[in-house]
Amino acid sequence: MSREQDDMLRRGIGMTSQRTRERLIQRLYEEGVSNARVLEVIRRTPRHLFVDEALAHRAYEDTALPIGHNQTISQPYMVARMSELLLEAGPLDKVMEIGTGSGYQTAVLSQLVERVFSVERIKVLQDRAKERLVELNLRNVVFRWGDGWEGWPALAPYNGIIVTAVATDVPQALLDQLAPGGRLVIPVGSGEVQQLMLIIREEQGFSRRVLGAVRFVPLLNGPLA
């Protein structure tokens, strides 16, 4: 982590103590997150910078929080688990994120992989996320304002794709943009019935693994200013 990120971490300690962060990391470990690198990045990433100031005191609770526009910042466990699933087979150099949102998952990914390509349909959220990542000196992220269902075909293929909103079905466009051996982590379903899935592109097609029930906001069509 850079000196700028270390400074940002220290400046946040008065409001959100290091002890509170450590309790969160211990909880994630107890809930089954075992990738030490993922846990370290979660520990060092100042989540309070990605939520409204009025909710900063809750930033290190293991819960999703509202960020406006009917969107949420994901539960830290889910951020850690999805990141861990992407990295199961080893380091990745090119990952696409569908749903920048607050930018928190983006910030975590940017410290775990070489390059992140993040797509967001709500322009104001994307602009805020960009500002936060610049503050943290995280400069290996490229943003696109657009429809997450379409992905970012111009820069495909990707070694990993992570989707931070629930799709009613797996978008074919995302499967098409997955590199051989690439991994797609995506919640699929609707309403109360949602499942987290890991899809891997193999020589003869795609393998699919259902990983359990989750709860995400819906993946919507079309960019929104």
Give the tens place of pLDDT for each residue, 189-202: 988 899 999 999 99
**pLDDT given for residue 166 in this prediction:** 96
Q: Is the peptide bond before 157 cis (omega within 30 degrees of 0)?
A: yes
Average pLDDT over residues 113-141: 97
Both tokens assigned to 88: 């199961």
Nearest residue to 222 (alpha-carbon basis) of 166, 165, 148, 128: 148
The domain ranges of the chain are 64-213
Give me the phi and psi of 80, to 5 degrees please: -65, -45
Both tokens assigned to 55: 């909710």
Return d(Cα 37, Cα 223) in angstroms, integer.
Answer: 34
Q: pLDDT tens-digit profile of 34-76?
A: 999 999 999 999 999 999 889 988 999 999 999 999 899 999 9
139: pLDDT strictly greater than 60:
yes
Average pLDDT over residues 173-190: 97
Q: Is 207 helix (H, G, I), strand (E, B) or coil?
A: strand
Q: The tokens 């960019």 sit on which residue?
A: 223
pLDDT above 70 covers a percentage of the chain that reads 92
Of residues 74, 102, 110, 118, which has the active-site annotation?
A: 74
Q: pLDDT tens-digit profile of 20-35?
A: 899 999 999 999 999 9
Catalytic status, residue 118? no
Residues recorded for the chain: 225
1: pLDDT strictly greater than 70:
no
129 C-beta neighbours (distance < 10 Å), count: 25
DSSP 191: T
Average pLDDT over residues 113-130: 97
Beta bridge partners of 95: 116, 160
Q: How far is CA 171 from CA 44, 147, 176, 219, in A?
A: 33, 11, 9, 10
> Domain 64-213: what homologous superfamily?
Vaccinia Virus protein VP39 (3.40.50.150)
Q: pLDDT tens-digit profile of 146-158?
A: 999 999 999 999 9
**94, 159 Cβ separation under 8 angstroms:** yes
Alpha helices in the chain (DSSP H): 3-11, 18-30, 36-44, 76-87, 104-110, 123-135, 172-176
pLDDT above 90 covers a percentage of the chain that reads 83
Return d(Cα 155, Cα 177) in angstroms, integer.
Answer: 9
